[in-house]
């Protein structure tokens, strides 16, 4: 996928490269657990989860998060998991993630007009739960995928995982000429941390933003949909400690430095402009921006550094308001919103960010 093509790198003849399939996103399916109002989450749970001076700070952060509603497979208004050990959280992950993933995959396959048995490669991204057999094996079994279906599990990449997952699926379609299926499923609600009197701004921000979702995308060789032209990335390893996701005895703990937007501001323009230049286009010719809404500051930095009009990130801001930050599925939710618009975008740039500190971008063209 991208330039040069795999066939060119391998020394394949020009005739062979010329007939390689164009990977196209032919169907997207979404699934969400029950929703809760952000104010209700604050009043009913988090207001008493934080204490002393921490409570006033937390209330301000919740109010300014850009989130109106969030979805939770394990709703803290009904069930407090903050003192659960990691083992118990992982058992619950399997219970909740399997039906959510099945729903998203079923909708994506239906939208693409395919059956589970048609899938040649199944890519699953998730950083919020682990077990073996994992979602890739159990869903392949339950949905009736062929025994020869290949599988890739992408774990612990965090919020940007959808784009390398899309890259793997697209490369498979290009090289093999067979459909691939991507699923991103996250249950961040399982990782509420224990209450503490100590001021921990990073944990407050995480508790104010994160949400649950599953999104699946079917990638096929040609046909109607968004053609995946290239997936690109850049990682600044000098800032590796700015975003972390640690496995602890009390679930997974987010580390989120306030310097993250600053790092993005130094990298995002060159990444996007380089991607577009390789395809003979410019930011002014992009009419759809699906940017991972890591939080309001992230979106503000992207808007400023790319000199985008105020309306350009509407899909991302609306996604944040209605669904919160769902980690890896979120950028696909923004893409789905662009795709379902009355006048769908013709040229889309997807952007997502996460540990590394890593930035990923993808260029889509269509709907074709």
Euclidean distance between CA atoms 128 and 355, whole angstroms: 14
- The rounded mean pLDDT for the chain is 93
DSSP label of 33:
-
| pLDDT, position 19 | 67
Residue 127 bears catalytic tag = no
226-365 homologous superfamily: Thiolase/Chalcone synthase (3.40.47.10)
- 132-144: per-residue pLDDT in tens? 999 999 999 999 9
CATH code, residues 6-221: 3.40.47.10
Mean pLDDT confidence for 254-262: 92
Query: Do residues 172 and 120 lie in contact, with contact meaning Cβ atoms separated by under 8 Å?
Result: yes
Euclidean distance between CA atoms 256 and 267, whole angstroms: 18
- 142-152: per-residue pLDDT in tens? 999 999 999 99
Distance (Å) of CA 158 to CA 34, 231, 290: 22, 17, 17
Q: How confident is the model at residue 3 (pLDDT cuts 50, 70, 90)?
A: very low
Tokens in use for 207? 């508790």
The 8 Å CB, 24+ separation contacts for 199-202 are: 199/53, 199/54, 199/57, 200/54, 201/57, 201/61, 201/258, 202/254, 202/255, 202/256, 202/257
Mean pLDDT confidence for 280-296: 97
Which residue is listed with tokens 């939710």? 333
Mean pLDDT confidence for 250-255: 95
- 291-335: per-residue pLDDT in tens? 999 999 999 999 999 999 989 999 999 999 999 999 999 999 999
Map residue 247 onto helix, strand or coil: strand
CATH 3.40.47.10, the chain: domain bounds: 6-221, 226-365
Tokens in use for 268? 């995002």
Element holding 272 (H helix, E strand): helix 260-277
Mean pLDDT confidence for 328-348: 95
φ/ψ of residue 258, rounded to 5: -65, -10
**Catalytic entry in 125, 159, 184, 326:** 159
pTM score over 0.85: yes
Q: Is 60 exceeded by the pLDDT of residue 162?
A: yes
Element holding 49 (H helix, E strand): helix 47-49
Query: Do residues 25 and 225 lie in contact, with contact meaning Cβ atoms separated by under 8 Å?
Result: yes
């Amino acid at each position: 996928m991208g330039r040069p093509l795999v066939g060119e790198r391998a020394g394949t003849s020009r005739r062979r490269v010329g007939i390689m399939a164009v990977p196209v996103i032919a169907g997207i399916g979404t699934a969400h657990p029950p929703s809760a109002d952000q104010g209700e989450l604050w009043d009913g749970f988090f207001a008493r989860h934080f204490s002393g001076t921490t409570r006033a700070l937390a209330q301000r952060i919740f109010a300014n998060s850009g989130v109106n509603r969030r979805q939770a497979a394990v709703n803290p208004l009904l069930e407090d998991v903050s003192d659960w050990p990691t083992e118990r959280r992982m058992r619950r992950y399997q219970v909740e993630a399997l039906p959510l993933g099945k729903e998203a995959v079923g909708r994506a396959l239906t939208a693409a007009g395919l059956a589970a048995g048609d899938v040649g490669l199944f890519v699953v991204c998730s950083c919020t739960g682990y077990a073996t057999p994992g979602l890739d094996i159990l869903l392949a079994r339950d949905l009736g995928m062929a025994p020869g279906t290949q599988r890739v599990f992408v774990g612990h990449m965090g919020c940007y995982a959808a784009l390398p997952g899309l890259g793997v699926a697209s490369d498979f379609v290009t090289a093999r000429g067979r459909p691939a299926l991507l699923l991103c499923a996250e249950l961040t609600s399982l990782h509420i941390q224990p209450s503490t009197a100590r001021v921990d701004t990073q944990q407050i921000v995480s508790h104010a933003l994160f949400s649950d979702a599953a999104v699946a995308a079917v990638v096929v060789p040609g046909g109607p949909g968004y053609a995946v032209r290239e997936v690109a990335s850049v990682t600044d390893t000098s800032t590796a400690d700015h975003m972390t996701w640690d496995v602890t005895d009390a679930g997974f703990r987010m580390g989120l430095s306030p310097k993250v937007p600053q790092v993005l501001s130094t990298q995002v323009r060159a990444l996007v402009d380089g991607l577009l230049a390789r395809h003979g286009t410019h930011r002014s010719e992009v009419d759809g921006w699906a940017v991972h809404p890591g939080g309001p500051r992230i979106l503000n930095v992207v808007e400023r550094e790319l000199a985008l009009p105020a309306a350009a990130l509407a899909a991302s801001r609306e996604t944040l308001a209605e669904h919160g930050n769902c980690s890896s599925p979120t950028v696909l939710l923004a893409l789905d919103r662009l795709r379902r618009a009355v006048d769908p975008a013709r040229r889309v740039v997807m952007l997502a960010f996460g540990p590394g500190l890593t930035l990923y971008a993808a260029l889509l063209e269509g709907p074709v």
